[in-house]
């Protein structure tokens, strides 16, 4: 009896990949496996099998030789540390929750206004996107009011809302 041509299908392979990703340090295991396979198989074959370049296999071998298992862990990519510390974040959260600025005056916050207030109060120059990311992590969301058109009739709009 002939063996089936397709032993594993696309869905099964993807499920196996998802299950493998659940394990911590599965990449370390694969790197070690690749290193051990270079004894039996040429590096180009190992690289093709693991779908990486030859240089990557050489780098794994070099890092393992120099640093042991620790050399195979991914290192920090060198992201810049946050300019805002916890005290700054608490103060910003207070401003947003109360709707006031540092002087206690009422303020309608926009990202640009908040950025300028941070620069003025803390001396920290932060751009819009990192500020936006901090606010999202702090649990704040952007709320935009509905537009009011110049031709809109307020009474008709209110009646429409009440009927819904």
pLDDT digits (tens, 9 = 90+) for 151-164: 777 787 777 776 65
Domain ranges of the chain: 11-72, 86-137
Q: What is the average pLDDT across 47-71?
A: 91
Q: How high is the pLDDT of residue 52? A: 94
pLDDT at 127: 92
Q: What distance in Å separates the CA atoms of residue 116 and residue 137, rounded to the nearest whole number?
A: 20
User: 121 pLDDT band (50/70/90 cuts)?
Assistant: very high
Instruction: Please give the full DSSP string across 15-83, using - where no structure is assigned.
Output: HHHHHHHHSTTHHHHHHHHHHHHTTTS-HHHHHHHHTS-HHHHHHHHHHHHHHGGGGGSPPP--PPPPS
pLDDT at residue 10, as a whole number: 74
Note the pLDDT of residue 101. 87
- 71-110 tens-digit pLDDT: 888 887 777 888 899 999 999 999 998 988 888 888 888 8
């Amino acid at each position: 009896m002939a063996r089936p041509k397709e032993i594993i299908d696309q869905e099964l392979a993807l499920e196996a990949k998802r299950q493998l990703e659940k394990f911590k340090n599965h990449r370390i295991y694969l790197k070690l496996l690749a290193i051990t396979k270079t004894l039996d198989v040429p590096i180009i074959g190992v690289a093709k099998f693991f779908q990486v370049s030859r240089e990557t296999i050489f780098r794994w071998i070099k890092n393992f030789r120099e640093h042991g298992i620790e050399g195979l862990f991914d290192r920090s990519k060198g992201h810049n540390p946050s300019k805002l510390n916890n005290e700054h974040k608490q103060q910003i959260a207070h401003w947003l929750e109360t709707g006031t600025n540092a002087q206690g005056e009422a303020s309608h916050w926009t990202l640009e206004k908040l950025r300028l207030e941070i620069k003025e109060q803390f001396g920290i120059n932060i751009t819009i996107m990192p500020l936006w990311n901090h606010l999202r992590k702090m649990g704040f969301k952007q709320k935009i009011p509905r537009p009011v058109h110049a031709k809109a009739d307020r009474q008709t709009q209110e009646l429409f809302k009440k009927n819904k």
